[in-house]
């Protein structure tokens, strides 16, 4: 049996906000009659729905009684508001409750579907009898999505935030359209947490295509037209030929510090995440792969765009779009594993527009990084190796740290007050100066306080 690992939380995912609300109610389409078994084709043909306003607990009870439901209108062209997002988990290696423990943001409602635990279905679909666990997550929203595009973006966002693509086998997560009909599960195992989630504002700025572009575009019509009519490489070449090479930053630059030879990040540190492959010994460089289907490409691409936007405030929208397409072309696989196209030109444009409409400062976090780098020109000028330069820099940093500590001690120390050295150490720690007895002794020695002036 292949174990499912808990999701690994990346460096820069957006936090989902939520509250626990037992009185919250949402609108849902519920079938007029329940079904103890999965509805037949004839049942689906005759199925009718009522629009109900329900609490999470009453909705849970109806699911367990076998009622079918739909988050919004059954006609896709008529889809409007949806208070719920439903996500199918089909083909997990571990049971539902055990899997939910690995999920960062617990569903409002989660329940096992009728084929849960059926090994024959697992063998038929996946050729693996261990992928037998099937269940459904439902998330309640404090503000409903409006339209197909918002619903799909919200579902993708929740999947990305929970790391479901990484935590589950390929094709185990099913993000369906808002007009999808879902069946209840008579007598199923069901849980209700009463959690209600807030989604980022950018999701609500997205409009369906029949209402125009999904977000207003700041990129010029000429650039968009060339992008839609050419291959990615040809578009990048065209842009450079007509506009020059934009200086697109993909990570926070390091700048000189007060210590010679030491470079430090220019503010908070951000970096585009790339998929490391291996180190090419012959060419003496790292080789990177492209993010593929099942590796949370959507979440990584959106975060990539936000970081590019933050690092390059000096670029105009066309230059930033060029950088976005270039990073996408170099780091993301355009195809799904089944051969279908994941990213159309229109989808890339809409993704970029959504990024431009999103507040980066509240949606991206800094990443771990080296505290400093060595200036190559300094090494050349001093005629030393980088290893020796690192030693010099660390020595100077230790000296600066020691001098700051001694200055803090000196501001509180009075040799005319009779205290033992240990009493002084305790006094200094009580006043916010973290110091040990050996450090205090070294301070006395270096600052010239003689034994005759200090009570031992």
- C-alpha to C-alpha distance for 244 and 239, rounded to whole angstroms: 7
Give the pLDDT band (50/70/90) at residue 155.
confident
Whether residue 370 is contained in a domain is answered as: no
Same domain, 29 and 94: yes
Q: Does residue 201 contact residue 361 with C-beta atoms inside 8 Å?
A: no
CB 102 within 8 A of CB 181: no
Instruction: Give the pLDDT of residue 364.
Output: 59
Q: What is the pTM of this model?
A: 0.51
Contacts of 287 (CB under 8 A, 6+ apart): 277, 278, 279, 280
Domain co-membership, 165 together with 259:
no
Q: Can you give the residue range of the structural domain that contains 44?
A: 17-204
Contact at 8 Å (CB) between 114 and 185?
Answer: yes
Most confident of 106-115, 120-129, 248-257: 106-115
Percent of the chain predicted with pLDDT > 90: 24
Q: Is residue 225 part of a domain?
A: yes
pLDDT of 8 strictly over 70 = no
The answer to whether residues 342 and 403 belong to one domain is: no
Task: Examine the domain organization and report whether 157 and 115 are in the same domain.
Answer: yes
Q: Do 156 and 229 lie in a common domain?
A: no
> Long-range contacts for 434-439 (Cβ within 8 Å, ≥24 apart)?
435/405, 435/409, 439/405
* Final residue belonging to a domain, choices 204, 238, 264: 204
Amino acid 10: pLDDT: 32
Is the CB of residue 168 less than 8 Å from the CB of residue 90?
no
Domain contains 369: no
Tens-place pLDDT, residues 307-349: 888 888 888 889 999 999 999 999 998 888 777 777 888 888 8
Give domain status of residue 283, yes or no: no
Which stretch of 164-178, 244-258, 312-326 has the lowest confidence by average pLDDT? Answer: 164-178
Residues 244 and 169 in one domain: no
Say which DSSP state 283 is in: T
Q: Which is higher by pLDDT, 456 or 349?
A: 349
Residues 163 and 37 in one domain: yes
- Tell which wins on pLDDT, 267 or 273: 273
Please determine, for residue 455, whether its predicted confidence score (pLDDT) is greater than 60.
Answer: no
- pLDDT for position 381: 80
Q: Same domain for 353 and 381?
A: no
Task: Please compute the mean of the pLDDT values over residues 207-219 and round it to a whole number.
Answer: 58
Q: What pLDDT is recorded for position 101?
A: 92
Judgement on whether residues 81 and 162 belong to the same structural domain of the protein: yes
Highest mean pLDDT among 154-158, 201-205, 210-214, 268-272: 154-158
Q: Which of 336, 362, 388 is the last residue of a domain?
A: 362
Q: Computed from CA positions of residues 283, 286, 292, 298, in that sequence, does the dihedral angle turn out positive or negative? A: negative
Are 110 and 245 members of one domain? no
Q: How confident is the model at residue 4 (pLDDT cuts 50, 70, 90)?
A: very low
The answer to whether residue 10 sits within a structural domain is no
Q: What percent of the chain has pLDDT over 70?
A: 88
Res 216 pLDDT > 70: no
Number of independent structural domains in the chain: 3
Question: Which residue, 170, 204, 238, sits at the end of a domain?
Answer: 204
How far out from the chain centre does Cα 336 lie? 20
Of the candidates 394, 378, 322, 312, the one whose C-alpha atom is nearest the C-alpha of residue 352 is 322
Residue 290 inside a domain? The answer is no
pLDDT tens, 293-307? 878 787 788 888 888
The reply to whether 279 falls in a domain is no
Helices 317-331 and 221-229: angle between axes, nearest 10 degrees? 20
In this structure, the answer to whether residues 96 and 58 fall within a common structural domain is yes
Task: Report the chain's mean pLDDT, rounded to a whole number.
Answer: 82
Residues 412 and 437 in one domain: yes
Q: What is the pLDDT of residue 251?
A: 80
Whether the per-residue pLDDT at 64 is higher than 80: the answer is yes
Q: Is there a domain that residue 345 lies in?
A: yes
């Amino acid at each position: 049996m292949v174990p499912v690992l808990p999701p690994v939380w990346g460096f820069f995912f957006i936090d989902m906000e939520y509250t626990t609300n037992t009185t919250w109610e949402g609108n849902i389409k519920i079938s007029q009659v329940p079904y103890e078994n999965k509805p037949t084709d004839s049942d689906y043909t005759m199925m009718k729905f009522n629009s109900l306003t329900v609490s999470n607990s009453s909705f849970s009870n109806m699911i367990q009684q076998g009622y079918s439901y739909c988050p919004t209108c059954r006609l896709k062209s008529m889809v409007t508001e949806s208070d719920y997002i439903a996500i199918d988990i089909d083909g997990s290696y571990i049971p539902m409750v055990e899997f939910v423990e690995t999920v960062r943001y617990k569903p409002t409602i989660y329940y096992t579907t009728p084929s849960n635990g059926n090994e024959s279905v697992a063998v038929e679909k996946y050729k693996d009898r261990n992928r037998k666990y099937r269940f459904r997550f439902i998330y309640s929203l404090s503000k409903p999505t409006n339209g197909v595009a918002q619903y799909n973006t919200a579902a993708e966002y929740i999947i990305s935030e929970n790391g479901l693509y990484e935590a589950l086998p390929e094709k185990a997560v099913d993000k369906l359209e808002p007009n999808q009909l879902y069946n209840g599960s008579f007598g199923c195992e069901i849980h209700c947490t009463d959690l209600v989630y807030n989604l980022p504002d950018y999701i609500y700025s997205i409009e369906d295509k029949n209402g125009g572009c999904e977000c207003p575009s700041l990129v010029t019509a000429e650039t968009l037209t060339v992008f839609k009519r050419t291959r990615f490489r040809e578009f990048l070449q065209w842009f450079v030929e007509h506009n020059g090479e934009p200086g697109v930053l993909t990570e926070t630059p390091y700048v000189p510090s007060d210590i010679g030879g030491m470079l430090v990040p220019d503010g908070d540190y951000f970096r585009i995440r790339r998929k490391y492959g291996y180190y090419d010994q012959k060419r003496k460089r790292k080789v990177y792969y492209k993010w593929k289907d099942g590796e949370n490409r959507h979440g990584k691409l959106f975060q990539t765009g936000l970081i590019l936007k933050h690092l390059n405030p000096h670029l105009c929208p066309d230059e930033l779009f060029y950088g976005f397409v270039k990073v996408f072309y170099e780091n993301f696989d355009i195809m799904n594993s089944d051969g279908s196209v994941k990213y159309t030109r229109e989808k890339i444009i809409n993704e970029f527009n959504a990024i431009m409409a999103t507040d980066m400062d509240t949606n991206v976090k800094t990443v771990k990084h080296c505290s400093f780098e060595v200036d190559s020109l300094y090494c050349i000028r001093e005629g030393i190796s980088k290893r020796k330069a690192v030693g010099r820099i660390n020595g100077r940093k230790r000296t600066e740290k020691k001098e700051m500590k001694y200055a803090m001690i000196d501001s509180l120390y009075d040799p005319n007050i009779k205290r033992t050295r240990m009493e002084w150490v305790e006094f200094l720690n009580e006043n916010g100066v973290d110091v040990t007895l050996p450090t205090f002794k070294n301070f006395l020695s270096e600052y010239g306080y003689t034994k005759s002036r200090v009570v031992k």
